[in-house]
Amino acid sequence: MVSCWAMASHIVGYPRMGPKRELKFALESFWDGKSSAEELQKVATDLRSSIWKQMADAGIKFIPSNTFSYYDQVLDATAMLGAVPPRYGWNGGEIGFDIYFSMARGNASVPAMEMTKWFDTNYHYIVPELGPDVKFSYASHKAVDEYKEAKALGIETVPVIVGPVSYLLLSKPAKGVEKSFSLLSLIDKILPVYKEVVAELKAAGARWIQFDEPKLVMDLDAHELQAFTHAYLELEATLSGVHVLIETYFADVPAEAFKTLSSLKGVSGFGFDLVRGTKTLDLIKVGFPLGKFLFAGVVDGRNIWANDLAASLDTLHALEAIVGKDKVVVSTSCSLLHTAVDLVNEPKLDKEIKSWLAFAAQKVLEVNALAKALAGHRDEAFFSSNALAHASRKSSPRVINEAVQEAAAALKGSDHRRATNVSARLDAQQKKLNLPILPTTTIGSFPQTQDLRRVRREYKAKKISEDDYVKSIKEEINKVVKIQEELDIDVLVHGEPERNDMVEYFGEQLSGFAFTANGWVQSYGSRCVKPPIIYGDVSRPKAMTVFWLSMAQSMTKRPMKGMLTGPVTILNWSFVRNDQPRHETCYQIALAIKDEVEDLEKAGITVIQIDEAALREGLPLRKSEHSFYLDWAVHSFRITNCGVQDTTQIHTHMCYSNFNDIIHSIINMDADVITIENSRSDEKLLSVFREGVKYGAGIGPGVYDIHSPRIPSTEEIADRIKKMLAVLECNFLWVNPDCGLKTRKYSEVKPALSNMVAAAKVHRTELASAK
Ligand code: GLN
Ligand code: ZN
Residue 325: pLDDT band with limits 50, 70, 90: confident
Average pLDDT over residues 464-475: 98
In ligand 1, which atom is closest to the CA atom of 563? Answer: 1
| 527 marked as binding residue | yes
Residue 460 CB partners (closer than 8 Å, separation 6+): none
Nearest C-alpha to atom 4 of ligand 1 is from which residue?
740
Say whether pLDDT at 234 is over 50.
Answer: yes
Residues 564 and 430 in one domain: yes
In ligand 1, which atom is closest to the CA atom of 653? Answer: 8
Catalytic residue ranges: 707
Residues 524 and 567 in one domain: yes
Residues 452 and 549 in one domain: yes
- Residue 399 within a domain: no
Convert 589-619 to b/e letters by CB count within 10 Å (16 or more is b). Answer: bbbbbbbbbbbbbeeebbbbbbbbbbbbbbb
Is residue 675 within 6 Å of ligand 1 at its C-beta? Answer: no
Q: Which H helix or E strand runs over 27?
A: helix 22-31
Say whether pLDDT at 273 is over 70.
Answer: yes
Is residue 706 within 6 Å of ligand 1 at its C-beta? Answer: no
| 664 marked as binding residue | yes
- Residue 501 within a domain: yes
Which one-letter DSSP state was computed for residue 728?
S
Is residue 613 within 6 Å of ligand 1 at its C-beta? Answer: yes
pLDDT tens-digit map of 90-122: 999 999 999 999 999 998 888 899 998 999 999
Residues 88 and 156 in one domain: yes
Is residue 445 within 6 Å of ligand 1 at its C-beta? Answer: yes
Residue 617: pLDDT band with limits 50, 70, 90: confident
Amino acid identity at 503:
V
Residues 372 and 434 in one domain: no
Residues 107 and 179 in one domain: yes
Q: How far is the CA of 114 from the centre of ligand 1 (A)?
A: 22
DSSP string over 650-675? EEEEES----GGGHHHHHHT--SEEE
Last residue of a domain, one of 393, 413, 445: 393
- Residue 330 within a domain: yes
- pLDDT for residue 656: 74
pLDDT tens-digit map of 406-446: 999 999 888 999 999 999 999 999 999 999 999 999 999 99
* Least confident span in 2-6, 361-365, 408-412: 2-6
Pocket-testing residue among 122, 441, 443, ligand 1, by greatest number of atoms within 8 A of Cβ: 443
Residues 181 and 219 in one domain: yes
Last residue of a domain, one of 377, 393, 409: 393
Q: How far is the CA of 568 from the centre of ligand 2 (A)?
A: 14
How many CA atoms lie less than 13 Å away from 423 in the CB half-sphere?
A: 4
Residue 345: pLDDT band with limits 50, 70, 90: very high
Which ligand is located closest to the Cα atom of residue 706? 2
Is residue 742 within 6 Å of ligand 1 at its C-beta? Answer: yes
Residue 700: pLDDT band with limits 50, 70, 90: very high
pLDDT tens-digit map of 624-645: 999 999 999 999 999 999 999 9
Residue 6: pLDDT band with limits 50, 70, 90: low
- pLDDT for residue 1: 37
Number of H helices, E strands in the chain: 27, 20
Residue 3: pLDDT band with limits 50, 70, 90: very low
Per-residue CA distances from 535 to 361, 541, 547, 564 (Å): 20, 16, 27, 21
Please give the Cα distance from 710 to 691 (Å, whole number): 31
Question: What is the domain-level CATH number for residue 668?
Answer: 3.20.20.210
- Residue 106 within a domain: yes
Is residue 739 within 6 Å of ligand 1 at its C-beta? Answer: yes
- pLDDT for residue 708: 84
Which ligand is located closest to the Cα atom of residue 565? 1
- Residue 620 within a domain: yes
Which residues, in sequence order, are bridge partners of residue 246? 211, 270
Residue 657: pLDDT band with limits 50, 70, 90: low
Pocket-testing residue among 122, 448, 501, 502, ligand 1, by greatest number of atoms within 8 A of Cβ: 502
Q: What percent of the chain has pLDDT over 70?
A: 99
Residues 634 and 733 in one domain: yes
Last residue of a domain, one of 350, 373, 393: 393
Q: Near ion ligand 2, which residues have CB within 5 Å?
A: 655, 739
Is residue 653 within 6 Å of ligand 1 at its C-beta? Answer: yes
Residues 491 and 375 in one domain: no
Which ligand is located closest to the Cα atom of residue 657? 2
In ligand 1, which atom is closest to the CA atom of 740? Answer: 4
Nearest C-alpha to atom 1 of ligand 1 is from which residue?
444
Residues 701 and 615 in one domain: yes
Summary mean pLDDT of the chain: 95
Which one-letter DSSP state was computed for residue 539?
E
The total number of structural domains that make up the chain? 2
- Residue 407 within a domain: no
Residue span of the structural domain in which 311 resides: 22-393
Residues 190 and 285 in one domain: yes
Provide the pairing of β-strand 511-514 with 533-539: antiparallel
Q: How far from the centroid of its chain's Cα atoms is residue 17's Cα?
A: 17
Q: How far is the CA of 523 from the centre of ligand 1 (A)?
A: 17
- Residue 607 within a domain: yes
Q: How far is the CA of 646 from the centre of ligand 2 (A)?
A: 26
Residues 552 and 489 in one domain: yes
Average pLDDT over residues 213-229: 97
| 16 marked as binding residue | no
Per-residue CA distances from 172 to 90, 107, 169, 231 (Å): 20, 21, 8, 19
Question: Which of 768 and 265 is assigned the larger pLDDT?
Answer: 768
pLDDT tens-digit map of 701-721: 999 989 888 899 999 999 999
- Residue 80 within a domain: yes
Taking a C-beta distance cutoff of 8 angstroms, is the pair 9, 369 a contact?
A: no
3-state secondary structure at position 210: strand
Cα torsion through 275, 279, 285, 290, rounded to 10: -70
